[in-house]
Structure 1
């Protein structure tokens, strides 16, 4: 893979310092905030890598350059929000605080639902005869409905975040959870 330009690395380091200051250098909040914005920088790094390969058509190159210009404008707005959060304890600080809490709550919900909450919902004591299906327990139906409601709420919240990002030309991060492994790191 090609090396990233110094300006991109500098932007990422500046973001990390501003992010740490915005959460008052609290270690857990700093890590959560970095985890929230890492996919944004990864996507931009992929586009930078595409541009460095010089095997793009003219239209692809223009699209990549427009993406990077938009990324730069959004990062300027994001750094401004982080600066305000670090200097004042008003609405920007509360927004950063709530973003971290929501990211943590989403990670806990996903972890419980997809990694350890996906137990078989069928009643193991039910006998299967012919084409009949095992019975589904009522508490499992309630749990499945609750999970569907959570998914719809997170989808709606994601749309609100994208609208806020578009209106104020900033980035509020992306939720990404790496695949769960049982190995200890």
Structure 2
């Protein structure tokens, strides 16, 4: 590895570890709040590291040093806010708490969207030939668009606050909704039982024409 690359990489990794500890201390090591804040700041470090690595490969090391100096200046102000939140109360502590709460609300919204999409997909009934479809009454497209617009507007507000205060307030990743459409389960016959067979964990009588 190039010595100049190794120099800024070690410094960057040390800053990341220090920030993780400071985030946990800023909320008095509360497990849920610390996890929310870490998930909020992890994309910032990942994107900045990728940007510095690309810039270092394409330009001179002096350009990377200037970018890294600006990054460290903002990070120092952020660590000062976290230190104040850990040792005293007031507005800075409320700010950190609100960041954690926003992250938790966003995760809850994503989970609600996944649950609603599963309910819209339908449910499998092993006693009937065709699956029973649930009515589409949950989470219309208009509501999804309104929610995305609201979170986008909040993101623009956070960017404006970062530029005004010259600190880092984290990034909320656009999570992909994990969703798999339901399908007809495959029947798996048991080895030691003749009169019954197993369908997705439920034991039901085996039809007469399948008995051996």
Query: Shorter-normalised TM-score: what interval?
Result: 0.7 to 0.9
Matches of 2:47 and 2:17, distance apart in 1: 16
Structure 2: runs of 5+ lacking an equivalent: 122-134, 180-212
Query: Are the aligned partners of 1:37 and 1:172 in contact in 2 as well (CA < 8 Å)?
Result: yes
Matches of 2:109 and 2:175, distance apart in 1: 14
Counterpart position of 1:56: 58
Question: Which residue, out of 154, 159, 171, partners 2:168?
Answer: 171
CA positional deviation for 1:172: 0.7
Larger RCO of the pair (alpha carbons < 8 Å, separation 6+): 1
Query: Are the aligned partners of 2:120 and 2:136 in contact in 1 as well (CA < 8 Å)?
Result: no
Query: Are the aligned partners of 1:40 and 1:173 in contact in 2 as well (CA < 8 Å)?
Result: yes
- Aligned positions, number: 163
CA positional deviation for 1:107: 1.4
Moved over 6 A (4+): 1-4
Q: CA RMSD in A?
A: 3.1
Matches of 1:153 and 1:57, distance apart in 2: 38
Counterpart position of 2:144: 147
Moved more, 152-161 or 68-77: 68-77
> Rg larger in 1 or in 2?
2
Matches of 1:180 and 1:144, distance apart in 2: 15
SS in 2 for 1:117: helix
What TM-score comes out, normalization by structure 1 length? 0.73
CA positional deviation for 1:139: 4.2
Structure 1: runs of 5+ lacking an equivalent: 123-136
Query: What do residues 123-163 of structure 1 show as CA deviations (whole Å, max 9, x unaligned)?
Result: xxxxxxxxxxxxxx8945x7332222211211111111110
What TM-score comes out, normalization by structure 2 length? 0.65
Counterpart position of 2:37: 33
Counterpart position of 1:118: 117
Query: Are the aligned partners of 2:77 and 2:167 in contact in 1 as well (CA < 8 Å)?
Result: yes
Counterpart position of 1:161: 158
Within 5 Å, which residues of 2 pair with 1:63-142?
64-113=64-113, 115-118=114-117, 139=137
Query: Are the aligned partners of 2:52 and 2:67 in contact in 1 as well (CA < 8 Å)?
Result: no
CA positional deviation for 1:27: 1.2
Query: What do residues 84-108 of structure 1 show as CA deviations (whole Å, max 9, x unaligned)?
Result: 1111111111111111111111111
Higher helix proportion: 1
